[in-house]
Structure 1
């Protein structure tokens, strides 16, 4: 029987914050603990932590707000605290999930103490800079991210397209770590006609759904263009655009889409009910490292329309269990959405195939692979220490 590991996770975001990174890390940590590993989490203090004390498996640090991302924080640089903590109780391996000041201080402390490091590339910050008017720092940011990740024994990326892009930019030792989906939570059986009625929709009407953070980098202008085209193409269908999520672009979207229903951020079973109560899922983002919502929508039995990259490239076979367009081809994206609604039988078949595919994408295999990457890094570092 393999020995259990002492694993330290460093991240600027963690559940119950609502985003794909927090959700993924929570799943990975729970899975490792179920397998008998000790998992220590180091992260910024959240509002929910007001009465929570740190301990052997949790270190909370001060955080600073990230501009444009209320509720999320950069963690404070904590190198000396980490050195003291890890000299007293040394982990076998670190997993650094974010590259901010907290992640950087963990990287420096671990290298000084010769602790094994695995990093994860979870967010395309280098693409976000253009959306926020900071394109002039893109090259500098890419250089920093490459320097950061190339100092770990492996960098885990969620999609083949992401791995290819980073390799082209000089990132080394890239490994694929896919994502899973909870197919018991996200299930077509959660469909609620009562919820649909609050949206003004009857059982056989068509709800066009979007779930995600409402922010400039998500290319949400295409939601209006696509939905307008659908209503013009199919004037006899009763269509409603329903948007689940929150963020800095919400007010602007509400002005652009006065007929749409805005449901705000949802989580857990309420989120699953919102998914299952839709019919078609539009996902126009071009900045995802993966896009967990694509798998959640597939598991909920929706007809997904997305660009052919990240999660969609891995999980959608065009015309079989969804529809994809070439990245950046807006007319192709709109055509894919129109095809999805061309006839009822097409949509029914796509939705059945979507659920069938997603039902094979559980978390168990992902956590197995994650455990193997961490163990390999720990054993390599131990071997180097013995040689020294």
Structure 2
């Protein structure tokens, strides 16, 4: 089949550390590995060389990138968001017209990409990756939930297709008026994340011996991750197993508060690559108390690492795990049940061993190759839609959830 020219627009990308950056890189590199011409459009990061930019020479085979201005995100200075760039994108795509524009994030740069693409009549697909409306309740701006949902609905309904990671999220968004939704799940590198990377030497740095129980959490140390529930579980478990350890991998605005609330917790900071894989594999029990994920890549990484998991019945955990088979699932908003399940797993080594063995089996078929293939098929289908240059939707129309001239072409291909 013919290669696609894909303009891939995202406000976050490695070396930034978050689930969106990680999965975006997997899709970009997966498309390139399948022979497609991908141009990555993202904000300039602090690590980027000053001379890098749209006109800078790039070595043969390197990912073609267009770096645009950005600003640090409040409370997350290590992350950046793009600035409005409609004019620059119009000039870029008039000169190098892509077959399809894929928008991974709905911030100012993503909004600019949607406007520019619609003005040029370019097909657009998008990801729904972050549960902004759920996050708002954790930052004292719950009153913005409805306007945020209206904005997102207008944004995504102006696209030819919106990709979501789980069937449950597809159904939830459909009830809120989102259109043309299709499930493309996430994958995991089952070679990188594997039980074989367990390290007694690493565990020793945490103060844990070979037979001591280590509880692990991986992700941003932020209010929306609900880590207070993990601390409650740890404190209950320590009453029965005083040598148990809790290891929190990541950083974020709640780091100091969490350390103050639980001085015995081990804070490792952000880990990447082989070091991250070793941290996962060196845990004995994985706690994932978040209830705001659209997916939750950490669930997949923990599964591949052969860990018993305690989570809420939500997002990736709710889709992939079977309670008592490869994990333990608490109903949403039932924190006492979550704590009780963590205590049950902590006190039953045979249960942990059985869940761990099945967790690895569950993860084995979830490699990235098949996921990227499904993503590619959706892009081909959207790229094949007949587009006409249109007046871009107004900000007022999007805020109302009814962008002017919104595309009504459905995605007709069968589910992948």
CA distance in 2, matches of 1:257, 1:384: 57
What displacement does 1:163 show?
1.1
Residue number in structure 1 paired with 2:321? 316
Structure 1 residue 22 and structure 2 residue 21: aligned? yes
What displacement does 1:383 show?
9.9
In the TM superposition, what whole-angstrom CA distance separates every residue of 1:77-135 from its partner, at most 9, and x where no partner exists?
Answer: 11111111111110000110111111111101100111000010010111111111111
Residue number in structure 2 paired with 1:158? 165
Residue number in structure 1 paired with 2:351? 346
1:226 partner SS:
helix
CA contact (8 A) 1:160 1:310 kept: no
TM-score (norm. length: structure 1): 0.96
Structure 1 stretch displaced more, 165-174 or 223-232 = 223-232
Counterpart selection for 2:235 from 228, 231, 242: 228
CA contact (8 A) 1:211 1:245 kept: yes
CA distance in 1, matches of 2:245, 2:288: 16
Question: Once superposed, what is the RMSD of the aligned Cα atoms?
Answer: 1.5
CA distance in 1, matches of 2:289, 2:142: 21
Call closer, same or farther: CA 1:384–1:140 in 2, change over 3 Å.
closer
Counterpart selection for 2:68 from 24, 37, 61: 61
In the TM superposition, what whole-angstrom CA distance separates every residue of 1:116-163 from its partner, at most 9, and x where no partner exists?
Answer: 000100101111111111112111111000000000011000112211
CA distance in 1, matches of 2:388, 2:150: 30
What displacement does 1:382 show?
6.1
The residue correspondences of 1:112-261 to structure 2 (distance < 5 A) are 112-232=119-239, 234-235=240-241, 238-261=243-266
CA contact (8 A) 2:121 2:388 kept: no
In the TM superposition, what whole-angstrom CA distance separates every residue of 1:38-94 from its partner, at most 9, and x where no partner exists?
Answer: 000111000111245224721111111221222112201111111111111100001
What displacement does 1:229 show?
1.6
CA contact (8 A) 1:159 1:310 kept: yes
Q: Which runs of 4+ in 1 moved over 4 A?
A: 382-385
CA distance in 2, matches of 1:228, 1:139: 37
CA contact (8 A) 2:121 2:387 kept: no
In the TM superposition, what whole-angstrom CA distance separates every residue of 1:200-229 from its partner, at most 9, and x where no partner exists?
Answer: 111121100011000111111111111112
1:286 partner SS:
coil
What displacement does 1:199 show?
1.1
Structure 1 residue 333 and structure 2 residue 338: aligned? yes
What displacement does 1:356 show?
1.2
Structure 1 residue 368 and structure 2 residue 373: aligned? yes
CA distance in 2, matches of 1:64, 1:55: 18
1:70 partner SS:
strand
Structure 1 residue 99 and structure 2 residue 106: aligned? yes
Structure 1 residue 267 and structure 2 residue 272: aligned? yes
- By relative contact order (CA 8 Å, sep 6+), the higher-ranking structure is 2
Structure 1 residue runs of 5 or longer lacking an equivalent are none
In the TM superposition, what whole-angstrom CA distance separates every residue of 1:296-315 from its partner, at most 9, and x where no partner exists?
Answer: 01111111100001110111
Residue number in structure 2 paired with 1:5? 4
What displacement does 1:7 show?
0.2
1:317 partner SS:
coil
CA distance in 2, matches of 1:197, 1:71: 30
Residue number in structure 1 paired with 2:94? 87
Aligned residues: 382
What displacement does 1:369 show?
0.5
CA distance in 1, matches of 2:146, 2:379: 30
1:302 partner SS:
coil
The residue correspondences of 1:42-53 to structure 2 (distance < 5 A) are 42-53=41-52
What displacement does 1:198 show?
1.1
TM-score (norm. length: structure 2): 0.90
